[in-house]
Amino acid sequence: MEPTVLGGKLASSLVAPLVKKLFVTGGPGAALVDRPVRLTRLVSFRGEQRTLGEKEVRGLAGRLVADALDSPGERPFPRDEATAVADALAARLLALGDLDMDDVQAVRLGHRELAARLRTAAGPWDGLSADAGHFLDSATEWACLHILEFFTRRSTFVARTLVEQTRGQAELIAKVDELITRVPRPDARDTAFERRYLPYAAEQYNHITIYGIDLRDSPDRWPLEVAYLSLEATGDEERTALPGERAEPEHTVRLAAEHALRTHDRVLLRGDAGSGKTTLVQWLAVTAARDGDRVPYVLPLRTLVRAGTLPAPTAFLTAVGCPLTPPEGWAERVLTAGRGLVLVDGLDEIPAAERHRTRDWLLALIRAYPGNRWLLTSRPSAVRPDWLAGEGFRELALTPMRRADVTTFVRRWHTAARAPEYEALLLDSLHTKRDLARLATNPLMCGLICALHRERRGYLPTGRKELYDAALTMLLARRDRERGMEAVDLGEEAQLELLQRLAYALVLSGRTEMDVATAESIVERALPSVASAAGRGDAATVLRELLLRSGLLRRPTEGTLDFVHRTFQDYLGARYAVEEGHLDVIAGHAADPHWEDVIRMAVAHARPGERAVLLRRLLAADTPRLTLLALACLEYATALDPTVRAEVEARAGTLIPPGSTEEAKALAEAGPLVLELLPGPEGLSDAEAHGVTVTASLLAAHEPAGALAVLRRFRGHPSLDVRRQLVGTWDRFEPREYATEVLDHLDRTALFLTCRTKAQREALPAMGPWTHLTFLGDHPITGITGITDCVTEPGAVEELQLVNNTEVTELGDLSAFASLRLLLVDCRSVRDLGPLTALSLTALLISRTAADLTGLSDLASITHLTVAHRLPGTRLTDSLPAAAPLKYLYLGEDAVAGTGLRGLSHWETLQALYLSPSTRLTAEDWAEIRRLPQLTILYLHSSLFPDSIRTMPTLPGVDDLNLIALDGGEDVSVLAPRLPDVRTVALQAAPGARLDGARLATLFPDAEVTLE
């Protein structure tokens, strides 16, 4: 930035008062000592007379930056960096208090070196543009100039050797201020014009026009800043090998399309019809105009070629209809200075004969005006790959939109259209309807789908045939016509006839790609019957026209072609098959999943009688998949024999909705087609709702987006089984997306959230607090992305389970979970339970651990305790918490190997006892149980049969009996007389075992017996 410009932004009248506020008036020891005063005692925000805080310093810096931006003339840097620049300047001013020097030393340094010291003390400030960084450094030096002036005026004890420097600083400031007022800015006329042109360009191109859409309630222009979507571009790049290195092969690079010109000044950007090329050109123009770093020229070739002569720079604005008149020679001065951004759009939209002339025009401009940035857009097949490679142009290609891009586009479109009520419905359809999702791969098609969906008030047309028809009309005819291009050689019907023959050939071959020679032979055979195409040249010429203008074909590699969307291939292939009466061919391929969309499209094109025949053929196969395919076809059948419709619905009704887990698994085997047929949650029972979520979960591996759309609909369901299913299927989806879309909306009541992976753990902060958490596997408690770091509100957690964790060795870090009531410890490396005394636990479950369990005796608040490891001592009172009011106690495996049940009767509060010991119980052990006055619930493992059961006495008061892991060979009959008060009996079979529930029920005639 020139000194005159900088001065205009930071004149002394502005800087001096602000700098003065940074220092105390009458610093300590002024004029009373013979040595200089340290800076740390001079600055007001560090000295003893503190009057200015960090907040005030930041305010001063912010005011200085804001005044610089608002002053007349060219902005020194983009306005959106104002906050960052102000923060950086404040940090440098605050660094005054950290410099280890006195005022004399500071004056000797001079203002530039002092500024350098402040930059070093404040540290680097990343992320600023070059202009912003230059302004920051200049502003720092200007402030230091005034700081030194302040020192020299203030310090009455400054040595005589500094007097001349003091005068020199004041004289320099006065001269610069005088220069500011006397010297005008150069190129004032150019600057004045650019102040008008840049806002005009920013406004002129700040909209998106959707051509070819004829919908009543959908405007065709949208604010660009609302609707713009950043797309991805790819290109091949070869890294130059250093001396001694091997040359590396070309590799594909990916970058945001709007960053295409950041590393290369010349770019040829290719993209299919509707891929967003023109929108990107507009975005680059708008952002350049707003930032002011480049002067944009948008040059649509379809407009320029009409004049016959391609324009010179002086006519750039006139050629595109800009009403502003620039100063004479302005455009040449801009380009000579390398400040231009030349955006040449639509090489494919001009006749082939004009392209060589256009190339010569473009190269002449580039050679005459080096240093500018140039972007040329084209469809892929318009020019050969090396068309501009010799001139240093980098080639990039726009990629299809990803699912996340489609979602973003739909949301922004509905925001721009002020139609939020239709957004969720359309997203659900896009995620569950596979053929629709395959169509929505570029902004043009997404815009068409959004507009048609809104036009139909949130309802896409039956079978979406109208959608395909509208898309084809738009791509084949209306879009070029409405963009003001010359009439195309082939009419819409002629293009359709040729395209559908190519599509049917691909469908029959089971492929999506064919070589150009085969395509030319198909076109050649068709030409005699297509009158409007017959006189347009040979087959190769007509095929090239289709490739270039139809927007439906592309050439992925040299010598091959395919359809830009597989759904168009299926649609057009089915259309031709129906016209030719090939329904038997279509029905014969029904078992092939790749023909599903062809069959549905055939139903859309067929006459009512043909539809009935085709649907009956599907039902005759009597398989779940083809029955469901017939059901999916119904929405494509506008007119159909009601008997056939009823038969299809009846047969499919036995499959959907699934009423059990087994039915859900069987339904999922029919494939992703099922997702768009799944109902609910309205009108479903809890069992059916659970079945639907199981089916969708199983299909997530094949169609994650569709499965997520179905599961999202059930996130508000009250059933615990449904909510558990939604939690349990987290592993099948991208963790953060599923967390925000589904998990965060669930009712947490009685629901544990299980984290199995690091990614799931790191997704926890994206949700509200969970009170019940399980961490399965090795999860660290502390550290970056540890449990305590990811659980943003540990105080809200009430139940925590650490399962199969070999990494945790210390439990003291759990103190952060102040509200924890239940803890499961399955950590083999934990050796000390003592730290748990800091928690007010009421339930503790100890599984695999190396701890000696001596710390249990101090857990006086425990009411529920599970222990499977050997307890120390000879009695239970030696190791279990004697003061705890235990109500539930689980003693399993080796827990009582050394103690037996001796001392158990000490806990008179026990209400439930679970026994699964690996050692035999004696009569003395059972006597301890008999002395428990409140015991009503008893769990007995099958390992107690028969030896331990033989010594079992009568246990009056027990009314709830649970028998665990029965294999069917146990003599359960001995229990009935020994448990005279039992009223409920639950029998649980061991894995793989089958129990005779009816026989076992007769053993407890006075109890309700259930078999699990």
Tokens of 710: 């179905």
pLDDT reported for residue 336: 93
In angstroms, the CA 373 to CA 379 distance is 21
pLDDT reported for residue 277: 84
How would DSSP label each residue in 717-765? Answer: ---HHHHHHHHHTGGGS-HHHHHHHTGGGS--TT--EEE-SHHHHHHGG
Residue 452, CA atoms < 13 Å, CB-side half-sphere: 22
pLDDT reported for residue 847: 83
What is the separation, in whole angstroms, between the first and last Cα of the chain?
A: 82
Query: Comparing 254 with 193, which gets the higher pLDDT?
Result: 193
CA angle 206, 208, 212 (to 5 degrees): 155
Q: What is the mean pLDDT of residues 688-713?
A: 91
pLDDT digits (tens, 9 = 90+) for 443-458: 877 887 887 788 777 7
Tokens of 272: 């299919």
pLDDT reported for residue 184: 44
Tokens of 370: 């080096």
pLDDT digits (tens, 9 = 90+) for 606-632: 999 999 999 999 999 888 889 988 988
pLDDT reported for residue 79: 84
Do 974 and 1002 touch, CB atoms closer than 8 A? no
pLDDT at residue 694 tops 50 = yes
pLDDT digits (tens, 9 = 90+) for 975-997: 999 999 999 999 999 988 888 88
Q: How confident is the model at residue 236 (pLDDT cuts 50, 70, 90)?
A: confident
Main-chain dihedrals φ then ψ at residue 621, nearest 5 degrees: -65, -25
pLDDT digits (tens, 9 = 90+) for 913-961: 999 988 899 999 999 999 999 999 999 999 999 999 999 999 999 999 9
pLDDT digits (tens, 9 = 90+) for 502-551: 999 988 988 878 888 999 999 888 888 876 666 667 888 888 888 877 77
pLDDT at residue 166 tops 90 = no
In angstroms, the CA 917 to CA 489 distance is 88
Tokens of 322: 């800009």
Whole-number Cα distances in Å, 941 to 214, 610, 886, 917, 963: 73, 65, 21, 8, 6
What's the mean pLDDT when you consider all of the chain?
82
Of 10, 13, 143, which Cα lies nearest the Cα of 73? Answer: 10
Of 843, 836, 840, 890, which Cα lies nearest the Cα of 864? Answer: 843
pLDDT reported for residue 251: 57
Query: Comparing 3 with 631, which gets the higher pLDDT?
Result: 631
pLDDT digits (tens, 9 = 90+) for 742-788: 999 999 999 999 999 999 999 999 999 999 999 999 999 988 889 99
Q: How confident is the model at residue 36 (pLDDT cuts 50, 70, 90)?
A: low
pLDDT digits (tens, 9 = 90+) for 44-74: 655 444 455 677 778 878 887 887 777 766 7
pLDDT reported for residue 156: 46
Tokens of 804: 């199969």
Main-chain dihedrals φ then ψ at residue 912, nearest 5 degrees: -135, 135
- Give me the percent of the chain exceeding a pLDDT of 90: 35
In angstroms, the CA 360 to CA 354 distance is 10
pLDDT reported for residue 905: 95
Query: Comparing 473 with 811, which gets the higher pLDDT?
Result: 811
Q: How confident is the model at residue 708 (pLDDT cuts 50, 70, 90)?
A: very high
